[in-house]
Structure 1
């Protein structure tokens, strides 16, 4: 499993690096074409789209991923996939019709200011198209077509970037150009996804299979709404207590912190299908612990780099009105990573105790809302970052606690806690040293290098494993 994991993880990471890399290098375009208020409007549409993604199709993609491996025949898998596809198309098309009909009213609710009805309509079209695109990528992932998945994702990213730059800079369409570029890119990726899956989807719809999937997925919807709340309540409450400008600044810090998902996407996309396939094998728990240690090492290094150099990145990439966004990055990087680390707590899903997802995520959402309510009026957007980190840490801790009860993985928690505390201490030191620019950069770089020695000292990284994995990946690749 480790061999296949590292091969697939590398393949899945490529489009993630490309997508986030393009997004990162387009920051100068965003900040020179869009004001913080415009950027805040885009962020609110993104928030709305995330809510729709976890509600409209009733999380049928999660049910599909759970039951796909249980189907014993290719025909059964095709019927299951086709049923999920047609249900998704039906639900998202209904959403599109209703929201376009009431765009004026909904725009004011979602964005918060009048006069952006057309912006909202373009956003709704993108949300509709992205719902189909997500399902197709999910299908490619669970058929273990990692290369096709990467090609679809790369084409979508490149087309989105090219169309957005063309429409914004050449034709001067501003925020409308960005949204139109997102629609064009996602439509292109969706078309290619259908091409790769032309033998999978059929004009078939099995009501019995649909009922089975919905019986599994519908209880997950409240949990997913709670996850959504944990991820996006910060923007909603910033918009409520402060202004759309502060939402834009917070969104910029989130975009910078979101670079941390470059690694996470590869791990997440490759790991879940493999765990469901191999969880009954006796060596899988130890392999999962090894993968987690590798992930933790990369995650902490990214945390140090982004936290210590956020101010420099914003100074290079943005305009002065965005510089204040650096203060939230140190809280948002670990918050984003923790919110997605449920992949290392598979016990709840394996045991089908899905009701626990609901209680854990609802509790995390309540905690997040409480701290946002307490902190945002007092310390502004930084309070939202702290509240998000608290909520994400609670949810991950609860996931891991219950997962270990149902599917034990031998993690070395003492070593893990030690390296996390050292990383926090190094970031705190680095951010409180204020000397000349080049001296600051040198000291921060030394702190990052010091962390590598900390990993080896506490056994989070083991040299023999590094050498072994380095030898495994090319060998496995050459076999494919």
Structure 2
């Protein structure tokens, strides 16, 4: 029987187009990358002290910010846009070298700013100078990996990308575990960061040399002006989303301590699975929404989005209800209090899904400037609320302030989306807002209610059973919706 199914799958796979195969393998690479990262979290939480894991968590927050400031995410706009316009391969390589030169220069300028007053910046960043230096070293090489990965995706070179992704993630995990085990207790965070930087430098150096050889030049300034014109206006939006996802850990570290940061971060690590599922659903729905708007199938959006949103809500519920078990897997007894961070984190996943669906419509109508206002507003609100409530109620409050900000973000993007729809196609309701509002109220109410069940295991498992039965009863509706989305894609 197994041989028969395997043979049928191989036959179907051979008939797939290169685009379908690429999509399949790119998804596999993403799932594998996140999967390895998720399954190594329990290892690191057990071989690292909570204080050292907390420092490492703060590093993860700052590296995402510095990557944006140093590399300006050139791969997301100017690079991929020009890949479709340029015919000459040498010109494409020259573009890559030019963008790498510019990102290197920008990162170097930020390094100089840091070196002028390292003690001042260390107090703000909340991490040791040795880790900050490694962070800058890593950022020098991140842009080249991003540019190369973008080109592989654009050209559907899925085999090469998968091999490199798997190799990079595997070495990262192996080196990380080995270095942490060899390090003394006070240097575990440095050892973990060093393993990441080492792998990034190894892979990045190979790619940089390759690009320079193909371009036959080391310094190219031709595309600098255009790159800055396109990407500097996008900085507020990109940084705001990063701040929204990272500010809580940084502020907990500075206001409470590294140990509490570690406990809070474990809850976020546990949410990696549900976030990956949500991301996959969002990536599948976005092109489908575009097609529906293009062909004026507005009722289809309204009808099928309800089923998918219900699915995301039910996944959030299960994630909340299984929090004690998830924390036991990801962390240890030292991290048990992280279960109380799970409810707002899971509820935030639902509202980030809403924001993603609404923003898909905004991007379709190119409302990029208004998108920036919504994101910046949410980031500022997050910092203000964290400053007030973390100090008053401790690190668990950060989960609820983040939930409030993602709720604000989804409402703000709904308003922007509503205005864009009205300006382009009139008073059309793309989404069933009464249904969405009802789901939102249920999610918020359940966030507080379900957290009370952690001390009542029998009742909690009864609620889990009801949720599973509810999902099973709606299985046909959900499956048909996902099949329809897949077919349209």
> Normalising to structure 1: TM-score of the pair?
0.79
- Say whether 1:397 aligns with 2:411: yes
List per-residue Cα deviations over 1:216-240 (Å, max 9, x = no partner): 3211112222223222221232233
Q: Distance in 1 between matches of 2:291 and 2:205?
A: 32
Paired residue for 1:214?
228
> 443, 446, 449: which is aligned to 2:468?
449
Q: CA deviation at 1:363?
A: 1.4
- The answer to whether the 8 Å contact 1:36/1:244 transfers is yes
Paired residue for 2:315?
302
Q: SS in structure 2 opposite 1:159?
A: helix
- The answer to whether the 8 Å contact 2:317/2:346 transfers is no
Q: Give the paired residue count.
A: 462
Q: CA deviation at 1:359?
A: 1.6
> 156, 164, 167: which is aligned to 1:155?
167
More displaced stretch, 178-187 vs 334-343: 334-343
Map residues 8-407 of structure 1 onto 2, 5 A cutoff: 10-64=24-78, 67-68=81-82, 71-75=84-88, 79=91, 82-92=94-104, 94-96=106-108, 99=111, 102=115, 104-105=118-119, 108-112=122-126, 116-146=128-158, 148-169=160-181, 174-187=188-201, 190=204, 203=217, 209-267=223-281, 281-282=294-295, 296-335=309-348, 338-339=351-352, 343-344=356-357, 345-406=359-420
List per-residue Cα deviations over 1:299-356 (Å, max 9, x = no partner): 3343223211122222244232211111111112333564476543234434443321
Q: Distance in 2 between matches of 1:278 and 1:194?
A: 38
Q: Distance in 2 between matches of 1:236 and 1:384?
A: 11
- The answer to whether the 8 Å contact 2:125/2:250 transfers is no
- The answer to whether the 8 Å contact 1:227/1:361 transfers is yes
Q: Distance in 2 between matches of 1:369 and 1:47?
A: 14
- The answer to whether the 8 Å contact 1:234/1:372 transfers is yes
List per-residue Cα deviations over 1:372-428 (Å, max 9, x = no partner): 122112221121111111112212332233234335783333333444444555665
- With over 3 angstroms needed to count, the CA separation of the structure-2 counterparts of 1:312 and 1:137, relative to structure 1, is same
- The answer to whether the 8 Å contact 2:144/2:204 transfers is yes
More displaced stretch, 85-94 vs 392-401: 85-94
Query: Where in structure 2 are there 5+ consecutive unaligned residues?
Result: 1-16
- With over 3 angstroms needed to count, the CA separation of the structure-2 counterparts of 1:18 and 1:196, relative to structure 1, is farther
List per-residue Cα deviations over 1:101-147 (Å, max 9, x = no partner): 7294366235436xx33233223322333333233323333445455
- The answer to whether the 8 Å contact 2:70/2:110 transfers is no
Q: CA deviation at 1:27?
A: 2.5
Q: Distance in 2 between matches of 1:375 and 1:318?
A: 25
Q: SS in structure 2 opposite 1:74?
A: coil
Q: Distance in 1 between matches of 2:213 and 2:125?
A: 41
Q: Distance in 1 between matches of 2:335 and 2:293?
A: 50
Q: CA deviation at 1:446?
A: 0.7
- With over 3 angstroms needed to count, the CA separation of the structure-2 counterparts of 1:162 and 1:323, relative to structure 1, is same
- The answer to whether the 8 Å contact 2:328/2:336 transfers is yes
- With over 3 angstroms needed to count, the CA separation of the structure-2 counterparts of 1:72 and 1:86, relative to structure 1, is closer
Q: Distance in 1 between matches of 2:124 and 2:312?
A: 33
